[in-house]
């Protein structure tokens, strides 16, 4: 990729940097909610710059041009996509860009590691099919430039997915369950070994499981129920040996990560802890644009590798590669899960949604526990629902003069809570 930007693209680069600066300022401002109108305005400006790039590169000699403009454009789209998620436009074409970028990284790492099963592939396949439907649905309403950009990213992901599926097809279906079990055991061992401190007793369970799997083989082969030797023996035996080697390494302990890689390890471990925490609290604390910093930091670390490994200053390959790659892939997977779990509700309405979800959960629990013991039990729920209902103006939840995304979901949730209250009261009256 060229570091030199042609004169006719320099103005575009400046404009893209300006858009990114404005988006970053909005992202960092926690004093107010992100407004859909602000995002839409900057998005229209971005589309305008993409059109200019496409017009310049219509020249056949420039079709493969790649320079800093493309890097900044990708960066801006990544951030813009997260803003679409933040304002609740989760099922719009631009919102899929961040997911596609993360899916590609996940697929790249699965292909590189060669440690995966159909359990890993299937959710990604379903997510790509969902994204494809969103893109094709928005063909009429969305700008052609954006649709084409997303289709190109989608095609790359589909190609990688097909390669992984082809590799899995070489393993007999009769060995699928055993493959999934070995992949799961390896990940559990890596999860324990990647901790700054762990007890050897944590590994004992997996050591016993591996011994049982090894003893189930006949003459070193995994047999089918009818006694045949299915295809895929080398893959499973290689995975079994890898698990044993990992256990031996971790049991030997010592310094599993070389000093030259310690800084990278600490960054990845800290990031994993933060993302794990977000998985628990994202409904209350996550603004999807927060993921932008994690994605950038991860990609920067990922791009430090040379031919798939981290090198020291002398160009040597220090120990600790497997642990670093496990943490890198784990962090990508956590970001992906956070993106997928994003609700089609603007962050401005998330506090109301969280309150309604809590009321609904409590009412369902009361219903499950044989209903009301007293009519008074229902009063706090009814009062809370009434206060939320009074927030609506002409049936809509307003923030200032704006009508944020997610009205349908909140209204449906409010109606369900009222229905649950009514059902509980009817059941109580009938019993009484």
Four-point Cα dihedral 201, 203, 204, 206, nearest 10: 160
Asked whether residue 340 is domain-assigned, the answer is no
CA angle 241, 247, 253 (to 5 degrees): 140
pLDDT band of residue 44 (cuts 50, 70, 90) is very high
Amino acid 14: pLDDT: 95
CA 362, CA 285: separation in Å to the nearest integer? 21
Residue 254 has pLDDT above 70, yes or no: no
Asked whether residue 407 is domain-assigned, the answer is yes
CA 215, CA 222: separation in Å to the nearest integer? 10
Phi, psi torsion values for 76, nearest 5 degrees:
-65, -40
Q: pLDDT over 70 for what percent of the chain? A: 96
Asked whether residue 338 is domain-assigned, the answer is no
pLDDT band of residue 150 (cuts 50, 70, 90) is very high
The predicted model gives 132-153 an average pLDDT of: 92
pLDDT band of residue 201 (cuts 50, 70, 90) is confident
Asked whether residue 403 is domain-assigned, the answer is yes
Please list the residues that pair with 403 across neighbouring strands. none
CA 76, CA 79: separation in Å to the nearest integer? 5
Asked whether residue 230 is domain-assigned, the answer is yes
pLDDT band of residue 255 (cuts 50, 70, 90) is low
Using a cut of 0.75, tell me whether the model's pTM lies above it: yes
pLDDT band of residue 220 (cuts 50, 70, 90) is confident
User: Last residue of a domain, which of 222, 254, 286?
Assistant: 254
Amino acid 253: pLDDT: 63
The total domain count for the chain is: 2
Beta-carbon contacts of 135 under 8 Å, excluding residues fewer than 6 positions away, are 93, 96, 147, 150, 151, 154
> Mean pLDDT score of the chain, rounded to an integer?
89
Structure tokens at 412: 């449906």
Amino acid 250: pLDDT: 82
Residue with tokens 């006719």: 8
Residue with tokens 């407004």: 35
The predicted model gives 220-235 an average pLDDT of: 87
The predicted model gives 109-135 an average pLDDT of: 92
Q: Out of 54-68, 208-222, 387-401, which region has the weakest mean confidence (pLDDT)?
A: 54-68
User: Last residue of a domain, which of 254, 283, 309?
Assistant: 254
Asked whether residue 215 is domain-assigned, the answer is yes
Amino acid 328: pLDDT: 93
- How many Å from the N-terminal Cα to the C-terminal Cα in the chain? 77
Structure tokens at 387: 């206060």
SS3 content of the chain, % helix, strand, coil (to 5): 70, 0, 25
Query: What domain range includes position 177?
Result: 173-254
User: Last residue of a domain, which of 207, 234, 254?
Assistant: 254
**pLDDT, tens digit, for every residue of 339-367?**
988 888 888 888 999 999 999 999 999 98
CA 68, CA 90: separation in Å to the nearest integer? 29
Asked if 265 and 327 touch (Cβ cutoff 8 Å), the reply is yes
Asked whether residue 416 is domain-assigned, the answer is yes
Amino acid 2: pLDDT: 60
Q: pLDDT over 90 for what percent of the chain? A: 50
Phi, psi torsion values for 306, nearest 5 degrees:
-120, 120
The predicted model gives 232-251 an average pLDDT of: 87
**pLDDT, tens digit, for every residue of 271-296?**
999 998 888 877 667 788 889 999 99
Asked whether residue 307 is domain-assigned, the answer is no
Asked if 109 and 329 touch (Cβ cutoff 8 Å), the reply is yes
Residue 61 has pLDDT above 80, yes or no: no
Amino acid 63: pLDDT: 63
Amino acid 32: pLDDT: 84
CA angle 217, 223, 229 (to 5 degrees): 120
Phi, psi torsion values for 30, nearest 5 degrees:
-95, 5
CA 394, CA 429: separation in Å to the nearest integer? 33
Residue with tokens 């009062």: 383
């Amino acid at each position: 990729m060229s570091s030199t930007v042609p004169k006719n693209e320099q103005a575009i680069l400046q404009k893209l940097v300006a858009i990114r600066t404005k988006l970053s300022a909005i992202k960092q401002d926690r004093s107010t909610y992100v407004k859909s109108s602000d995002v839409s305005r900057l998005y229209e400006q971005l589309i305008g710059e993409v059109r200019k790039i496409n017009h310049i590169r219509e020249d056949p000699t420039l079709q493969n041009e790649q320079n800093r403009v493309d890097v900044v454009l990708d960066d801006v789209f990544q951030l813009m996509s997260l803003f679409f998620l933040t304002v609740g436009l989760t099922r719009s074409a631009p919102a899929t860009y961040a997911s596609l970028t993360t899916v590609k990284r996940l697929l790249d790492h699965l292909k590189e590691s060669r440690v995966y099963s159909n359990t890993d592939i299937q959710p990604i396949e379903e997510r790509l099919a969902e994204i494809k439907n969103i893109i094709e649905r928005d063909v009429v309403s969305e700008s052609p430039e954006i649709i084409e950009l997303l289709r190109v990213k989608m095609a790359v992901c589909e190609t990688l997915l097909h390669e992984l599926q082809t590799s899995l097809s070489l393993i007999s279906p009769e060995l699928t369950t055993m493959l999934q079990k070995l992949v799961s055991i390896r990940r559990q061992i890596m999860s324990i070994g990647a901790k700054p401190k762990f007890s050897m007793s944590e590994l004992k369970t997996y050591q016993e499981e591996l011994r049982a799997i090894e003893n189930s083989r006949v003459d070193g082969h995994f047999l089918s129920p009818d006694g045949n030797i299915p295809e895929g023996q080398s893959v499973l035996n290689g995975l079994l040996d890898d698990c044993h080697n990992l256990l031996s390494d971790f049991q030997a302990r010592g310094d599993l990560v070389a000093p030259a890689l310690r800084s990278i390890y600490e960054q990845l471990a800290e990031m994993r802890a933060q993302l794990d925490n977000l998985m628990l609290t994202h409904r209350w604390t996550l603004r999807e644009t927060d993921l932008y910093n994690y994605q950038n930091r991860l990609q920067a670390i990922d791009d430090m590798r040379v031919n798939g490994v981290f090198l020291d200053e002398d160009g040597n390959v220090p120990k600790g590669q497997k642990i670093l790659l496990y943490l890198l892939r784990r962090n990508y997977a956590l970001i992906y899960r956070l993106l997928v779990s994003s609700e089609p509700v603007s962050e401005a309405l998330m506090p109301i949604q969280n309150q309604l979800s809590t009321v609904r959960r409590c009412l369902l629990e009361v219903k499950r526990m044989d209903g009301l013991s007293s009519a008074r039990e229902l009063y706090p729920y009814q009062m809370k629902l009434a206060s939320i209902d009074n927030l609506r103006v002409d049936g809509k939840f307003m923030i200032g003069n704006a009508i944020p995304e997610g009205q349908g979901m909140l209204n449906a949730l409010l109606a369900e809570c009222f229905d649950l209250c009514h059902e509980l009261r009817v059941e109580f009256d009938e019993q009484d």
